Structure 1
Amino acid sequence: MTSTTGAHTMTDLSPARTSDAFLRLALRIDAAASGALGVLSLAAAPLLVDVLGPPAPVLVGVGAFLVVFAAGLLVLASRRSIPRPAAWTVVLGNAGWVVASVLAVVLGGEALTGLGVAVVLVQAVAVAVFADLQWLGLRRMR
Structure 2
Amino acid sequence: MPFTLTPALRRTLHLDAMMSGAAALLLVFAAAPLSRLLALPEELLFWAGVILVTFVVMLLVIAARKVLPRLLLMDVVLLNAVWAVLSFALLASGWVSPNLLGMVFVSAQACAVALFALLQFAAMREAQS
Could you tell me the TM-score, scaled by structure 2's length?
Answer: 0.90
Match in the other structure for 2:64:
78
**Residue 141 of structure 1: CA displacement?**
2.2
Residues 35-65 of structure 1 show CA distances to partners (whole Å, capped at 9, x for unaligned) of 1001100110111111112221111100000
Larger C-alpha radius of gyration, 1 or 2?
Answer: 1
- Whether 1:138 aligns to 2:89 is no
Partner of 1:127: 113
Q: Contact 1:109–1:117 (CA<8 Å) still a contact in 2?
A: no
SS where residue 75 of structure 1 aligns?
helix
SS at 1:54 equivalent: coil
Q: CA deviation at 1:77?
A: 0.5
Is 1:54 the counterpart of 2:20? The answer is no
Q: Which runs of 5+ in 2 are unaligned?
A: none
Q: How many residues align?
A: 125
Residue aligning to 1:116? 102
Q: Is the 8 A contact 2:40 2:96 kept in 1?
A: no
| Structure 2 counterpart SS, 1:63 | helix
Instruction: Give the AA of the match of 1:93.
Output: L
Structure 1 residue 137: Cα displacement: 1.3
Question: Contact 1:98 / 1:127 at 8 angstroms: preserved in 2?
Answer: yes
Q: What runs of 5+ residues in structure 1 fail to find an aligned partner? A: 1-15
Specify the alignment match of 2:29 in structure 1.
43
How far apart in 2 are the matches of 1:110 and 1:141? 41
Distance 1:52 1:124 in 2: 15
**TM (normalized to structure 1)?**
0.82
Question: RMSD across aligned C-alpha pairs, in angstroms?
Answer: 1.4
**Structure 2 CA distance for aligned equivalents of residues 134 and 122 of structure 1:** 18
The CA deviation at 1:116 is 0.7
More helix by share: 1
The runs of 4+ residues in structure 1 deviating greater than 4 Å are none
Q: CA deviation at 1:83?
A: 2.3
Larger strand percent = 2
**Percent identity between the two aligned chains:** 38
Which range is displaced more, 25-34 or 53-62? Answer: 53-62
